[in-house]
Amino acid sequence: DAGITQSPRHKVTETGTPVTLRCHQTENHRYMYWYRQDPGHGLRLIHYSYGVKDTDKGEVSDGYSVSRSKTEDFLLTLESATSSQTSVYFCAIQDTANYGYTFGSGTRLTVV
């Protein structure tokens, strides 16, 4: 959908291990975002990027880091996964044509 893919789609990992989720876009959009979605909390912004090497924190950034070394890839890293980070993670890009956001299909992460 609109050239945005997330990988992996599903992952199970152990507490304390580092995990990296990848968001890849093919349309050269400047803005990219990472959200998490949990029951009862809706979507919450973790980090976002407004260009290569330009990132900033969102509402729930503790325990997460991001990197954007090239326009097409935005990586989200859980430095030491905890059970509270079990969630569905969505990446999004902003369409500069209508300023609407396009979301990826999500990554379901389970930390055991």
Partner 1 sequence: LAKTTQPISMDSYEGQEVNITCSHNNIATNDYITWYQQFPSQGPRFIIQGYKTKVTNEVASLFIPADRKSSTLSLPRVSLSDTAVYYCLVGDLMDSSYKLIFGSGTRLLVRP
Cα–Cα distance, 88 to 95 (Å, whole number): 22
Q: Which residues in the 64-93 window bind partner 1 by CB under 8 A?
A: 88, 90, 92
The residue within the footprint of partner 1, chosen from 25, 33, 78, 87 (CB under 8 A), is 33
54 or 80: CB nearest partner 1: 54
Buried b / exposed e over 14-51, threshold 16 CB at 10 Å, is eeeeebebebbbeeebebbbbbbeeeeeeeebbbbbee
- What is the identity of the amino acid at 22? R
| Number of chain positions touching partner 1 (CB under 8 A) | 23
85 or 104: CB nearest partner 1: 104
Q: Whose structure tokens read 């975002």?
A: 33
**Which residues of the chain form contacts with partner 1 (CB under 8 A)?**
33, 35, 42-45, 48, 50, 58-59, 88, 90, 92, 95, 98-106
